Amino acid sequence: MSMLKYLLIILLLPFSLSAKTKIKTADIIVSSPNEKYFGDDDVRPSLHKVFAKELREVEIYLNSFQTIITQFKQSNANGEVNYGKLFISKPGKIRCEYLKPLSVLIMNDKKITYHDQELDEVSYASSDINALKLLAINDIQFKSLNLVEAIKDEHSLSINIKEYSPELKQNIIVAFKFSYPHVQLKQISVITEDNEISMVFDKITYDKILGKQLFYLQRDIIRNRK
């Protein structure tokens, strides 16, 4: 499997999103500049309660827009760096263009589409709620996610979510980093047992109208017209 297809798998991993998700207190580490909670599970406070205000502010931010356009820099533990552009339209539509040094297009609507533009090769995978698609939910609520860590300092807030990946047969961590107290998305990282992929965002534009054709391969549109 190529490295980029591996990145596709872990960046677009299926996520469970259910109000019935149970938080295991044994997994929770809560920290902020003046607060650290360790010790017995029975006395460790709920992450959702300790950071209720901050989580609510992030929910309001994520639910305040319908579309995003942003540039990104993606890097991994092997030192590989790629640049691109990300388009998100709620509900659920994602277009991820790798512009340099790669020439690859990844889209996610009802399925994940991977298009190697240099080779003109297309492959598909099934799609569910996933790391990037969490940004494309109309009404995201952190109470339905398995939060395992939150870290706040003077200028930023990090929120980590833990999920088990049947595809990789291991637990993964998806870390969202926001500026704070003026909330804005800065970075998403996906951490596995043997790799860490980070997307750092720059020049975010909100609520620009995005045409439906943006989320389909051009060659598929042409074929459907015939």
- Under 8 Å between Cβ of 54 and 152: yes
Token representation of residue 95: 């277009």
Please report, for residues 6, 89, 117, 118, 215, the alpha-carbon distance to residue 212 in angstroms, rounded to integers and kept in the order given: 27, 9, 20, 24, 6
Model pLDDT, residue 7: 55
Q: Are 174 and 133 in contact (CB under 8 A)?
A: no
The band of 165, judged by pLDDT with boundaries at 50, 70 and 90, is confident
Per-residue pLDDT tens over the stretch 168-192: 788 888 899 999 999 999 999 988 8
Whether 34 has a pLDDT exceeding 80, the answer reads no
CA-wise closest residue to 93 among 225, 219, 212, 224: 212
Q: At residue 11, what is the residue type? A: L
pLDDT greater than 50 at residue 39: no
Share above pLDDT 90 across residues of the chain, in percent, rounded to a whole number? 33
Which tokens in the block code for residue 24? 């295991």
Q: Considering the domain delimited by 3-225, tell me its CATH architecture.
A: Clam (2.50)
Q: Which residue has the tokens 């309660």?
A: 49
163 pLDDT band, cuts 50/70/90, is confident
> Chain-centre distance of CA 82, in angstroms?
17
Q: Check pLDDT > 70 for residue 43.
A: no
- Name the residue among 94, 95, 89 with its Cα closest to residue 65: 89
Q: How confident is the model at residue 80 (pLDDT cuts 50, 70, 90)?
A: confident
Question: Contact, 149 vs 160, CB < 8 A?
Answer: yes
Mean pLDDT of the chain: 77
How many residues are given for the chain? 226
**pLDDT of residue 111 exceeding 80:** no
